[in-house]
Chains A and B, each alone.
Chain A
Amino acid sequence: MTITSGIDVGTGAIKVVAFAVEGDQERCLGKRVERVRQRDPLKLAGDIYDDLLKETGLARADVAYCATTGEGEALTFHTGHFYSMTTHARGAIYLNPGSRAVLDTGALHGRAIRMDDRGKVLAYKMTSQCASGSGQFLENIARYLGIAQDEIGSLSQRADNPEKVSGICAVLAETDVINMVSRGISSPNILRGIHESMADRLAKLLKTLGSLDGTVQMTGGLALDAGLVDAMKDAVVKARVDVAIESHPDAIYAGAIGAALWGAFRHKRLADMARAA
Chain B
Amino acid sequence: MRTFVGIDLGSTTTKAVLMDENKEVIGRGITNSRSNYATAARVASEEARIDARFTLFRRALHVGEAGHEHSAEFLAALERNFRLIQFLEQLDDLEETCHRQLEADRFKSIAGPLQEALHIIFARLRQEAASLYAPGAKRKSDFFRDIAGSRFHVHAEAVAREMGIALDMVLNAYDKSIIEVENRPPGGDLSDKFRRAVARMLAADSHAADGEGDFAAMIESALGIELEETYLVGTGYGRVTLPFSKEHIRSEILCHGLGAHMMYPGTRTVLDIGGQDTKGIQIDGHGIVENFQMNDRCAAGCGRYLGYIADEMNMGLHELGPLAMQSNRPARINSTCTVFAGAELRDRLSLGEKREDILAGLHRAIILRAISIISRSGGVTDQFTFTGGVAKNEAAVRELRKLIQENYGEVTININPDSIYTGALGASEFARRAVAA
Bound Cα distance A2, B337 (Å): 43
> Which of B278-318 touch A at CB < 8 Å?
297-300, 304-305, 308, 311-312, 314
Q: How far is the CA of A181 from the CA of B308 in the complex (A)?
A: 22
Contact across chains for B336 and A169 when beta carbons are under 8 A apart: no
> Would you call A131 and B339 a contact (CB within 8 A)?
yes
Residues from 326 to 365 in B contacting A, C-beta threshold 8 Å: 335-340, 343, 346-347, 350
Cβ of A74 under 8 Å from chain B: yes
Report if A58 contacts B (CB, 8 A): no
| Least CB separation from B172: chain A residue | A148
Instruction: Chain B residues near A145: list those with CB within 8 A.
Output: 179
Residue from A146, A147, A172 in contact with B304 in the complex, judged by beta carbons closer than 8 Å: A172
Query: Who on chain B is nearest to A35 by CB?
Result: B168
Measured CB to CB, the nearest residue on chain B to A130 is B337
Residue contact B168 to A130, C-beta cutoff 8 Å: no
Query: Which residues of chain A (175-218) have a CB below 8 Å from chain B?
Result: 175, 177-179, 181-183
In the complex, B241 has a CB within 8 A of chain A: yes
Q: How far is the CA of A126 from the CA of B225 in the complex (A)?
A: 63
Query: Does any Cβ of B come within 8 Å of A108's Cβ?
Result: yes
Closest to B12 in A: A175
- Chain B CB within 8 A of A161 CB: no
Contact indicator B314/A108 (Cβ below 8 Å) = no
**With A171-B305, A182-B37 in contact, do A108 and B340 touch (Cβ < 8 Å)?**
yes
Interface 1/0s, chain B 154-186, versus A by CB < 8 A? 000100000000011101100111111000000
User: Is A25's beta carbon under 8 Å from chain B?
Assistant: no
B34 interfacial contact with A, CB 8 Å: yes
B377 at the interface (CB under 8 A from A): no
CA A183 to CA B257, docked complex, whole Å: 29
User: Which A residues are CB-close (under 8 A) to B336?
Assistant: 129-130
Q: Taking each of A167, A175, A179, A183, which has the highest tally of chain B beta carbons within 10 Å of its own beta carbon?
A: A175
Residue among B168, B276, B339, B346 making CB contact with A148, cutoff 8 Å:
B168
Interface on chain B toward A: helix, strand, loop, or mixed SS? helix
Known: A108-B339, A129-B337, A182-B241. A171 touches B178 (CB 8 A): no
Cα of A11 to Cα of B343 in the assembled complex, Å:
8
Complex alpha-carbon distance, A131 and B340, angstroms: 7
Q: Is the CB of A108 within 8 A of B305?
A: no
- Asked if B304 contacts A129 (CB within 8 A), the reply is no
A143 and B179 alpha carbons, distance in the complex (Å): 10
Task: Say whether B339 contacts A134, CB under 8 Å.
Answer: yes
The distance in angstroms between the C-alpha atoms of A35 and B166, with both chains bound, is: 11
**B11 is an interface residue with CB less than 8 A from chain A:** yes
Q: How many whole Å from B136's CB to the nearest CB in chain A?
A: 27
Min CB distance, A82 to chain B, in Å? Answer: 18
Distance in angstroms between the alpha carbons of A12 and B171 in the assembled complex: 16
Produce 1/0 per residue, A65-85, CB < 8 A to B. Answer: 000000100100000000000
State how many angstroms separate the Cβ of B373 from the closest Cβ of chain A: 16
Q: What would 11 more interface pairs be, CB under 8 Å, given A178-B33, A182-B35, A182-B241?
A: A38-B311, A41-B346, A42-B350, A129-B340, A131-B337, A131-B338, A146-B178, A168-B297, A169-B337, A182-B37, A183-B241
> What are the 5 tightest A-B residue pairs by CB atom distance, in nearest-first order?
A131-B339, A171-B299, A146-B176, A181-B35, A148-B172
Residues of A whose CB lies within 8 Å of any CB of B are 11, 35, 37-39, 41-42, 71, 74, 108, 129-131, 134, 136, 143-149, 151, 167-172, 175, 177-179, 181-183
**Chain B interfacial positions (CB closer than 8 Å to A):** 11-12, 33-37, 106, 153, 157, 167-169, 171-172, 175-180, 237-238, 241, 275-276, 297-300, 304-305, 308, 311-312, 314, 335-340, 343, 346-347, 350
